[in-house]
Every structure is written in structure tokens, then in C-alpha cells.
Structure 1
Amino acid sequence: MKVLLINTNDSGGGAAIACNRLSDALNHQGVDVRTLVMNRNSNRSNVAQFKDGKFQKYIAFLRFAFERLFFLFHEKDKSVRFAFSPANFGTDITKHPWVKDSDIIHIHWVNGGFLSLKSLEKLLQTKKTIVWTLHDMWLFSGGCHYAGSCRNFELECGNCHFLKKPKNKDLSWKVWNRKSNFMLQKKMNVVTCSRWLGKEAKASSLLQNANISSIPNPISLNMFKPANRADLKRKYNIEENKFVLLFGAANINDKRKGLHLLVDALALLKNKKFDHNRLKIVVFGKFKDFDENSLAFDVLSLGQIKNAETMAEVYSMSDVFVLPSLEDNLPNTVMESMACGTPV
């Protein structure tokens, strides 16, 4: 059996990490598995860029740029710029030899100029068995990656709160309508990493004919495992008696990750009677204009961590990992922290 995984990138971001880990797990079980991406940045032997060469990288960047530029004229404000993908720009991958040679096509995150609605329609029209792992709500929405309090996806999208001029047949309705024209004709196998997203997918109109299962992302227990907490605290120059509270995400400025809720919670905790000097806040992830003083306690900022070994150390060093997300799809951080023996 030949399985082809499809993702926009092979590194950077939770979907790429999850896709690579699934590839490793399938390969370990003897499955012939390969990954096709728009942007190849790793040296993984079973990963191919859809088209190689510097010129093709330039073309891929242009598709990404045009995708963002198109939405620029529709967005409510810059805070939602990357929260909505109209999927107007992409490329047809159905003639790629790996696609033709595969028995199962397993789609992951394919936005950002990789697969457009038109190219997705062509892919779904092949006679291949299609599996789609959802890393957000995009597949069954009118373009948003997370809907917030909106429930329009249950019937039909429109009046989208991400748009400058929401109305019944706005951009979100047009995207939803285009999806409905081809998605309802194909019985897909949809996988969600969390039961919450599975429940949302089952409530959607676009996936009413799909087989939906909730399966957590695989994780290597050889990499993420408990280690000596005291030794690791010394390594990171943290006193052994400190209680380490860990918070982090790929981008902690993303409001959905709930940093503002953590700030409020720690402000309340500051007023409680206990030894404030015992609490140490450790933060990791990409951030811009982050004020450490807003967390009210002693803070250690580690920035972006791209090395899995280092990430495992940080989890094992911590006493608790806090996830105040407003919406999330059982992110890798939860699985990694628990595998290291650190409660979430």
C-alpha cells in the first residue's frame, strides 16, 4: 500500500510537525509513505517539493502573495489577515507521479497558495481513496481557520465577521458554495486530532457525507519522555525550589492562544497570599512586542525552539504546562508535555 501525505510545508508549524511524525510512524510500521509539499526545507529523503528549482520557489511565493493580497481587500482589519484563506490560488498536483502512484492520498494543511479550491476539486475527483486530517476548521468553513462564536458553517456561510463588508452572499458564502459543489459529491474520510473538532466537523453542512474519526497526532516516546527535573532546572539556571509554569505556542501573539487570559489569571494570583518568589514563568514561541512585565512574576523567555530535544527538556523542566487557548485542536504541545510527565 502506497500512502502519499500532502502538506504545504515540511517544517515550521504544527501541521508540518504532525505530518512528519505520522510519516515516521507509518514508515516504522512498514508502510510505503511519501510526502509532497509546496516548500521543502528539510533533508527528509521521502519528501519531495511539487516542483524543484529556484524559479518554482519564486512561483510558489507568488501564489502565496497573491492569496494574501486578494484577501487584503476583504479583511476586516490586519488582525484577521492570516485567519482566513479564500484558496483562490494554487496548483494542480493530480499529474504528479507520486499522486498517480499512490493508493491513499492523505491531505493535511494545504493553504497558503499550495492547493486552490479548483485544484482540490480535481484531486477529489480522482479515484484515489482520500483521507483528510484537519488541523483547523478550514475544510468545512467558508474560509476561516477557526470560527470563534460563529455557527454559520452548520448551514451555510455568509455574514462573516472576518470581512470588511459582511453580507449574505459575501466572500465566505462564495467559498462555502464552491466547496459544496464538489465536497458533497465525494465521501471523504476525515480525521480530527481532537474530539472537539470532530464534534464541530460533524455539525457542519459540508461534511455531512464524510466519515469522521478523532485520532490524536502520533508522538515519539523515545524523544518526549520524563527526565530529571532538578538537573534540567540547574541547566537553565532556575533554582530547584522554583515552581515552573510553562506557556508557549508557535505564535503567542495569536489571540486564540489565550495569552491575555494568562495575564489576567496571573494578575489575580499576584493578590493571593503565598511566596511569590517561588513561581517562575517560562515562555517559548514567536512573539512581537511581548512585555514580560505583563505576567506579574519572574519570567524566562526562551523564544522560538526549533529543536525537539530542547523542547523535551523544557517540558521536563517544568512543573505544569498551561494552555489557555480559546479554540485549539489538541496541539502538539499538549501531547508532548504529557509524554514528558508534565501535567497540562
Structure 2
Amino acid sequence: MRVLIINTSQKTGGAALAANRLKDALNNNGVEARMLVRDKTVDDSTVIELPRTLKTKWSKLWERWCIFCKLNFSRRHLFELDIANVGTDITKLVEFREADLIHLSWINQGMLSIGGIRRILESGKPVVWTMHDLWPASSICHYAHGCEGFMNRCGNCMLLPGGGHANDLSEVVWRRKKKALDGNQISFVTCSKWLGEQARQSSLLKGQTVTSIPNPIDTEVFKPQNKLMARKMLGLPEKNKIILFVSQRVTDKRKGIDYFIKAIGQLVARHPEMKQNITIAILGSDAEQLAEQLALPTHLLGYVSDIRQIINVYNAADVFVLPSLEDNLPNTIMEAMACGVPCVGFEVGGIPEMIDHRVNGYVARERDTNDLAQGMDWVLNEANYAELSREALQKVHRNYSQQSVAKQYIEVYYQAITKKNKSK
């Protein structure tokens, strides 16, 4: 079976990492998988880059400009929306024609247009689409933020100026998507059961198959290593306990940095002695302006792309904290657990599916900084740490290993191919 996975980027972002890991998992389990991307950054014979044309180069900028205009030239929400009004027609590529099945992943920011998606669906090839967020099942947003418009018909979008109106941009894009999806069979896969429940409520996906399969991780790469050695390599305190926070962009409000700062303050207020034996490490860009707000000594590790260095960061930590306000199935939690590091997060999205409360980590009540602080304190000072670490490793090997995830996807592929053949 030859599978072509479509993703905007090869390495940038959580969806790109997940798509890459799935490609490798499939190739290691008997499927010939390749990945088609617009932004290729690393030499890999299984990754194909789109032809570098003027249209390919400017598609992302043109889409942003169109959204910028609709936002009345405000940058607020500029990178939270995608309208897929431009993109590349990949159906003309040799790699597309040679594939037995097309697997769509994260295809936004000028990679594929809605019209391009429709041409893929009308090509006669079976299509599987992994949802890394809500965009395939909504209009222009990636996360609903409590809005239920996608369940019926988008419009009056709260992300648009003035709260939008009945025939605003979200309604226009919703109609375009509905026209593209209606009458075409797609096998949707969500990375978490939480997102699967949302997808099944979408009016756009009515009648479509929705399956939940987690992202895979290579447990031969992400694994426990010598903690002291990792700290020495990173220049982190060797004797202190380390609380780790990771985000590609630390200032991203959705990742909960404000709640993290408040929880750390509450933790120190209860236990002032922690200033002497607890250190915070932050991995990600744009953290400089936040370090002074934290009540504990903080080491800024910046943005790191080298996988060996990232693994060192996880192994240096005693607890990983990700207080996301809305998230699917964060790769960072999976990576930390694969290195034997217990995690603490809010009870939102797919996080409770990953962290088993008081078994391999701590699940705090949503937006409750007191409970978040309690979770960190419990992991660091009260729980049987060795047992937490063992349980985290077992959870990853049991649920997120390459073989486990590849097997589930291969079953979805065969079902999609069978359905397509029957419909001909």
C-alpha cells in the first residue's frame, strides 16, 4: 500500500511532528508512506517538497492579507484563522497519481485551498484526514473557544470584528467547505476522543466516519536518560528539583502561561523554602518578558530544534507542567512521559486521556491555579515518584508506540479503500 501524507510543514509545529512520526511508523510496519510538504527543512528521501513556484511562495502571504483585511487591519486573531482561499493543486503531481490513498494532515496557511481539497476528493482516491484541531469540522477557526456554531452553520463569528454577522467570512467559508465535502466520502481521524466528540457534532461532517487514534512516538528515541548528565549539558542546577514548561511560543495564551505564573506564585507562598531547592526551566521562544514574573529562579532555554537537545531537556526535569486552556493531544506531554517524567495539566481537551490522575501525573481542575499548584507540589513532594515515572512509561508504550498506532491507521486505510471500491 502506498500512502501520501499531506502536511504544510515538514518539522514546524505539533501537527508536522505527528505527521512525520506517523510516516516513520507506517514505513516501519509494512506501508510505503511518503510525505508531501510545502516547507521542507531536513533532507529525507521520504519527504517530497512542492515545486517552488511564485504561487507556492505567495499563497500563505495572500491568505494572511485577505484575513488581515477582514479583521479591519488588526493583528488580533490574525493567526487563529484560516480560510483556505489559495493553495496548490496537488492532483497533477506524480506522487499523487502513484498513491493508493491520500492522507490529509494539517494543510493550512496556503498549502491547500478548499477547491484543491475538493479536487482531491473527486479524484477517485480514498481519503483519510487526521484532525489535529477543529478546522476541518468548523469554518475558519482551529479551536471553538466554547462556540457551538460549527454544530449547525457558522456565522456571527466571535473572532471577527464586532462579533461578525449572519453572512460574515465564517459563513462564506462554511458554505465553501460544505460544497466541497457534500457527497464525498472521507475517513476522519481525531488524535483525541475529546476532539472526536466535537467532530461528530459538526454539521459539515454529518454522515462521515470519525475514528480516534492517538499520535505515535518513537520510544527508541524519546526515552529515559541520565538526569544528572542532561542537566550538566544544559547548564541547569544539578541538585534542585526542576519544573519544566514547554511551548513553541511561550506567550501563546492558549498554552496557559498566565495560569502557570499564578500557580508558581501560590506554590511559593505556601512553601517559601522552595526558592532554595526548586528551579523552573522554560523551553520555547519569547519567554524573556515573562521570566521576571515567576516567583522561582528560572532558566530560559530558548527555542530548540535539535531532537537530542530536546530529549535532554525532558530528562533534566522532575515534572512537566502544561496548563493548556484548549488542546488536542499535546506532543509535549507524550514526549515528557516517554522520558519517564510525570506531567501536570488542566482537565481540558485530550489531556485527561494522557495523564491518569494520581497514577502517572496530576490532572487539575480547569483554570484552577490552586489545584495546579497542588498538583506540582504533590508530584514533587508527596507522591511515590519512581512509581509515577514507571506508570508514565507504561502508558506511552501501551498506547502511543509506533506499532500500536500504525496498526490502527492501517485498519482505517483498508476500510477507506474498501468503501471507495464499493462506491464505484
Task: Using structure 1 for the length normalisation, give the TM-score.
Answer: 0.95
CA distance in 1, matches of 2:271, 2:34: 56
- The residue number in structure 1 matching 2:206 is 208
Structure 2, unpaired ranges of 5+: 344-424
Whether 1:132 aligns to 2:142 is no
Whether 1:328 aligns to 2:327 is yes
CA distance in 2, matches of 1:216, 1:245: 26
Structure 1, unpaired ranges of 5+: none
CA distance in 2, matches of 1:101, 1:329: 32
Q: CA deviation at 1:101?
A: 1.2
- The residue number in structure 2 matching 1:80 is 77
Once the two structures are superposed, what CA deviation does each residue of 1:247-272 show, in whole Å capped at 9, x if it has no partner?
Answer: 01111111111111111111212211
CA distance in 2, matches of 1:289, 1:280: 16
Supply the AA of the counterpart residue of 1:63. S
CA distance in 1, matches of 2:334, 2:128: 22
Task: Using structure 2 for the length normalisation, give the TM-score.
Answer: 0.78
> Helix, strand or coil: the match of 1:322?
strand
Q: CA deviation at 1:289?
A: 5.4
Once the two structures are superposed, what CA deviation does each residue of 1:300-340 show, in whole Å capped at 9, x if it has no partner?
Answer: 11111101111111111101110100111112111111100
1:163 to 153, 156, 160: 160
Whether 1:283 aligns to 2:279 is no
Of 229-238 and 148-157, deviating more is 229-238
Supply the AA of the counterpart residue of 1:59. K
1:69 to 55, 58, 65: 65
Q: CA deviation at 1:30?
A: 2.4
Q: Is the 8 A contact 2:231 2:312 kept in 1?
A: no
Whether 1:146 aligns to 2:150 is no
Identity of aligned residues (%): 39
1:188 to 171, 186, 196: 186
- The residue number in structure 1 matching 2:56 is 60
Give the aligned length: 340
- The residue number in structure 1 matching 2:391 is none
Whether 1:341 aligns to 2:340 is yes
Q: Is the 8 A contact 1:188 1:209 kept in 2?
A: no
Superposition map of 1:1-344 within 5 A: 1-52=1-52, 56=53, 58-75=54-71, 77-165=74-162, 166-276=164-274, 277-287=276-286, 290-344=289-343
Supply the AA of the counterpart residue of 1:257. K
Once the two structures are superposed, what CA deviation does each residue of 1:255-292 show, in whole Å capped at 9, x if it has no partner?
Answer: 11111111111121221134122111100112265231
> Helix, strand or coil: the match of 1:321?
strand
Q: Is the 8 A contact 1:184 1:209 kept in 2?
A: no
Q: Is the 8 A contact 2:280 2:297 kept in 1?
A: yes
CA distance in 2, matches of 1:288, 1:82: 19
CA distance in 2, matches of 1:268, 1:225: 32
Q: CA deviation at 1:213?
A: 1.3
> Helix, strand or coil: the match of 1:5?
strand
Q: Is the 8 A contact 2:319 2:341 kept in 1?
A: yes
